[in-house]
Amino acid sequence: MMNPINRRYFLKTSGVALAYAGVIPALPMSVLGGIKPARVAKSKTLVVIFLRGGADGLNLVVPFGDKPYYDLRKGIAVATPDAKENAAIDLDGFFGLNPRMAALKPLFDDGLAIAAHAVGYDRNTRSHFEEQDTWETGVVGNTINSDGWLNRHLLTSQGAPGAALRAVAIGDSLPRIMHGKASAFAIRGLEDLSMPAPAGAAPDAVTAALEHAYGCKGDHAQHGPPHDEELAGAIELVSRTTGTTLDGITQLRGVTSGEYKPGVEYPKSDLAKKLMQVARLIKADVGLEVAEVDLGGWDTHQNQGNPAQGGGAFGNLAQTLADSLAAFTRDLESAGKADDTLVVTMTDFGRTAAENGTGGTDHGWANCMFLAGGPVKRAAALREEKKVVTRWPGLAPEQLHQKRDLLHTTDFRDVIGEVVSTHLGNANIKAVLPGHEFKGVGLIA
């Protein structure tokens, strides 16, 4: 406990409340490395959807105008837009959406969605664990000792006064992208935020006990005199952690005290349910800045699915993503919140340009990212109304990375850097993403 602020503390509850809360009570400049926390843009929210497993970007945003695409993927290629059925949905005459992603086409047409293609970085290991860590930490080569880049954003910025819920992940555990010194919450759902209590005890008995035991209401007398400085530090840390936890739960309970009626009908999927809960938090104006949800199952080594027959499991995932993201965006739009909300998708890595011998694709290199929300629309004129932003490297044999993969021409950290600095308004971008020289992408404004 000699350096408690660098340790992670977990508060396990009955299954739906808090999974993690870090502490950041006015950290000293020494902890922040001399960085002055930036005052972030007001009422802005970033939502990250992580597509775990390595999504096949070439079949999500299809380069139907690049003939080698069809030479490489004779069994799993998405047909050109002029095909009679299950064809790519034309975006710009060269790229098209997967036919199962039709729900996103109106967002692209309205300027609310964009794709960045051929995104990656130059030291990809093609390992799920290492690449998820790299994309979540924003650090290349030493992810073990690195906090998540979303947490570093929180650490180097100041949120709205009194906001205990700046960062929330909807899921079973806190994702790596939110690990670090700043407070971050992981909840399984908004339906039940109670703490586990013995049979017959009052519903708030555990909350009251925690407040009493750790002096969260300012009364530390019950601890007695600390035996030494180390113990005093430990007691203070636990008190602050518990106080932050209970403040967050109080705010969450306030959000869920009444019936929620979304502005649109959401699809019946786990991802849609999670995004609907994020929308509820955004509409409640509790100071939510960053949220994260996962959609897994993208590791399609075999039987990826024939697009002409609906695309199989891959097609189902593509539709789940598109339908959920479209509903979320329209829900926020109906409440006047879409202008201040940005959604970004991330994934481990791309897939091989050519299909393999089992009707799938293997671990590859560059990929696509989707962005949706008001910040995308504000940049439409700057990017000349483009629906896909890329310096396309091509899929001909001599254009492939190591003769097998789509080459990256945009560093993913440039996309993240633009998101953090332009949308969230954090000028401390070199502290959020250290060791990288940034180049503008022009995706958002």
Question: What digits encode the pLDDT tens for the residues 88-109?
Answer: 999 999 999 999 999 999 999 9
In a domain, 144, yes or no: yes
- Listed range (223-237, 301-315, 405-419) with the worst mean pLDDT: 223-237
pLDDT at 19 over 90: no
Task: Round to whole Å and give the CA distance between 289 and 292.
Answer: 11
Question: What digits encode the pLDDT tens for the residues 43-74?
Answer: 999 999 999 999 999 999 999 999 999 999 99
Task: Round to whole Å and give the CA distance between 351 and 398.
Answer: 18
Angle (nearest 5°) at CA 128 between 13 and 56: 110
Q: Which residues contact 88 (CB under 8 A, 6 or more apart)?
A: 62, 64, 78, 79, 80, 81, 96, 97, 98, 99
pLDDT at 246 over 80: no
Task: Round to whole Å and give the CA distance between 240 and 244.
Answer: 6
In a domain, 220, yes or no: no
**How large a percentage of the chain has pLDDT more than 90?**
67
Q: How far is CA 70 from the centre of its chain?
A: 32
Instruction: Give residue 292's identity as a one-letter amino acid code.
Output: E
Contact 276, 266 (CB under 8 A): yes
Task: Round to whole Å and give the CA distance between 113 and 368.
Answer: 13
- Listed range (23-37, 167-181, 184-198, 293-307) with the worst mean pLDDT: 23-37
Q: Supply the pTM of this predicted model.
A: 0.84
Instruction: Give residue 267's identity as a one-letter amino acid code.
Output: P
Question: What digits encode the pLDDT tens for the residues 108-147?
Answer: 999 999 999 999 999 999 999 999 999 999 999 877 778 9
The CATH number covering residue 135 comes to 3.40.720
Question: What digits encode the pLDDT tens for the residues 327-340?
Answer: 999 999 999 999 99
In a domain, 238, yes or no: no
In a domain, 100, yes or no: yes
Task: Round to whole Å and give the CA distance between 238 and 235.
Answer: 5
Question: For the chain, what is the mean pLDDT?
Answer: 84
Q: Which two tokens stand for residue 46?
A: 């970033």
Q: Which two tokens stand for residue 175?
A: 């994702």
Q: What single string gives the DSSP state of each residue in 193-220? A: -PPP--TT--TTHHHHHHHHHHTTTS--
Instruction: Supply the range of the domain harboring residue 72.
Output: 35-193+256-432
For residue 285, give the 3-state DSSP assignment: coil
Q: Where are the beta strands (DSSP E) in 234-325?
A: 290-296
- The domain total for the chain is 1
In a domain, 199, yes or no: no
**How large a percentage of the chain has pLDDT more than 70?**
77
Task: Round to whole Å and give the CA distance between 332 and 275.
Answer: 11
Grade residue 208 by pLDDT with cuts at 50, 70 and 90: low
In a domain, 444, yes or no: no
Task: Round to whole Å and give the CA distance between 192 and 293.
Answer: 18
pLDDT at 432 over 70: yes
In a domain, 224, yes or no: no
In a domain, 320, yes or no: yes
